Amino acid sequence: MKKIINFAKEFSPSIIALVLPAMAFAQTLPTPTAPTQTNVPQGNITSMQSILQLFCTVFAWAFWFLIVLAVIFIIVAAFKYLTAAGDPEKVKSAGTMLIYTAVAIVVALLARAIPLVIGSFLGAGNLTSC
């Protein structure tokens, strides 16, 4: 666990530096419209379908975040492996990082599957954004 924390401290600035510009470009500004009665958002959740759509949205963001993170970890592990120069400790470190990456990919796939499983148990029918 201590190795994971140290790794996160070591590479978190570079990960943030890679992800932050993409998040800034993803923002869109809404077009201004004249306020009407139909544009007023309702505070009440009206159905189980809307709750499941919220879960789908959250888990979809988690999926893409974990996939991007896994790709970054694969690149870093490959770099560590290539620069190991036969040092068994560095090769073992790169292999461990690849195992953690495989776990992250499995968790990402579960993030895609969980809303569908919950929706089928609750009888939500068709979840369009999943």
Tell me, yes or no, whether 90 lies in a domain: yes
Residue 95 domain boundaries: 62-122
Tell me, yes or no, whether 68 lies in a domain: yes
Q: Three-class SS of residue 88?
A: helix
Mean pLDDT of the chain: 74
Tell me, yes or no, whether 69 lies in a domain: yes
Q: What confidence tens digit (pLDDT) does each residue in 23-68 have? A: 555 555 566 665 555 544 455 556 666 777 777 788 778 888 888 8
Rounded distance, CA 73 to CA 15, Å?
A: 10
Tell me, yes or no, whether 92 lies in a domain: yes
- In sequence order, what are the residues at sequence separation of 6 or more whose Cβ sits closer than 8 angstroms to the Cβ of residue 111? 59, 60, 62, 63, 66
Tracing tokens 């009888």 back to the chain, one arrives at: 123
**Residue 98's pLDDT is what?**
92
Question: Could you tell me if 64 and 22 are in contact, meaning their C-beta atoms sit under 8 angstroms apart?
Answer: no
Task: Indicate left, alpha or beta for 24 from its phi (over 0: left) and psi (-120 to 50: alpha).
Answer: alpha
**Residue 104's pLDDT is what?**
83
Tell me, yes or no, whether 53 lies in a domain: no
**Residue 86's pLDDT is what?**
83
Tell me, yes or no, whether 26 lies in a domain: no
Q: Could you give the number of structural domains in the chain?
A: 1
Rounded distance, CA 5 to CA 100, Å?
A: 13
Tell me, yes or no, whether 49 lies in a domain: no
Tell me, yes or no, whether 107 lies in a domain: yes
